[in-house]
Structure 1
Amino acid sequence: MNLKKIIPLVLLLTSISFYAQSGSSKSKKEQIQSMKVAFITTELNLSAKEAQRFWPVYNSFDDKQYEIRHDKMTLCKVHLTDAGMSKLSDKEAATLLDKMENSEEDLYALRTKYSKDLREILTPTKILLLRKAEDDFNRKLLHQYRDKAKKK
């Protein structure tokens, strides 16, 4: 096994052990991020030049995507409860629908820009590997949470 594959693997294993010991949600988020970085780096086998250009674009996209989704979820939590729905007028509901649709359009525009930016950095094959790596990572993370919940 070459050094490029060993270092991210060690980072991933270290991150997992810290995650298991952690208590605060902020540090958990940071640990998940570091696990994700290690996992994606390993899966994509990024060169140093690719990594230097890729990670700022990826992190910016990830932050903006999180912000848009968080704002949408906040809207939904406030207004789409049983109590909130009973108080909504048709005009307010229409405004809420417009906001939700706008956030979906914002996400689509963000993904389109991200895809264009990635094409300048990575090959199409690596972009597809990235999407697969993200899905695989999310699946593994979900399994870890389920396993942890079963043990409690």
Structure 2
Amino acid sequence: MSLKKIIPLVLLLSSFSFYAQSSSSKSKKEQIQSMKVAFITSELNLSTKEAQRFWPVYNSFDDKQYEIRHDKMTLCKVQLTDAAISNLSDKEAAPLLDKMENYEDDLYALRKKYSKDLREILSPTKILLLRKAEDDFNRKLLHQYRDRAKKK
């Protein structure tokens, strides 16, 4: 499995802890979002015109992506525990599997639309820089998370 597939998976799994927390999870999400915005802004060096068009598209994409992933994780957390899975028949499991696949299809369609929308705002080079910046930010966040876990 490539690193590009592992990082989002690790982020997805590590984000379960954010959902399990109380109101502090909202402030942590906002704090991470602020750090992400600052990081991407500095990496992309957007012009004022680009920034005015880019951030609404980016934030909309990010919110929709979060909703889809949250719905998927809620499904996993509630219905796909070890005990629940072992008690499922194939007939009961099939709709859950379909639902998970639909979430993946929704994410893919959202990413395709986002990429198309970005091409109207940014050059292909800046889009690649954005993807690299997002990967770098996620990696940086994981390192910070690991460092804090080691200190405890």
Does TM-score exceed 0.5, indicating one fold?
yes
| Structure 2 residues without counterparts, runs of 5 or longer | 1-22
2:81 and 2:24 map into 1 onto residues whose CA distance is: 28
List per-residue Cα deviations over 1:84-114 (Å, max 9, x = no partner). Answer: 0122122221100110111111011000000
Report how many aligned residue pairs link the two structures: 130
TM-score (norm 1): 0.82
1:28 and 1:75 map into 2 onto residues whose CA distance is: 23
Q: Secondary structure at the match of 1:121?
A: coil
Task: After TM superposition, give the deviation of residue 26 of structure 1 in Å.
Answer: 1.6
2:67 and 2:122 map into 1 onto residues whose CA distance is: 25
Q: How does 1:12-91 map to 2 (within 5 A)?
A: 24-91=24-91
1:85 and 1:144 map into 2 onto residues whose CA distance is: 33
Q: Secondary structure at the match of 1:46?
A: coil
List per-residue Cα deviations over 1:9-53 (Å, max 9, x = no partner). Answer: xxxxxxxxxxxxxx9222111111111000000000001110000
Show structure 1 runs of 4+ deviating over 2 A: none
1:141 and 1:82 map into 2 onto residues whose CA distance is: 29
Aligned to 1:119: 119
* Structure 2 residue identity aligned to 1:61: F
Relative contact order, CA 8 A, sep 6+: which one is greater?
A: 2
Q: Secondary structure at the match of 1:88?
A: coil
Q: How does 1:89-128 map to 2 (within 5 A)?
A: 89-128=89-128
Task: After TM superposition, give the deviation of residue 75 of structure 1 in Å.
Answer: 1.0
Task: After TM superposition, give the deviation of residue 73 of structure 1 in Å.
Answer: 1.2
Aligned-pair identity (%): 90
1:81 and 1:25 map into 2 onto residues whose CA distance is: 22
2:58 and 2:68 map into 1 onto residues whose CA distance is: 15
Q: Secondary structure at the match of 2:84?
A: helix
Task: After TM superposition, give the deviation of residue 60 of structure 1 in Å.
Answer: 0.5
Q: How does 1:2-17 map to 2 (within 5 A)?
A: none
* Structure 2 residue identity aligned to 1:125: T
* Structure 2 residue identity aligned to 1:47: S
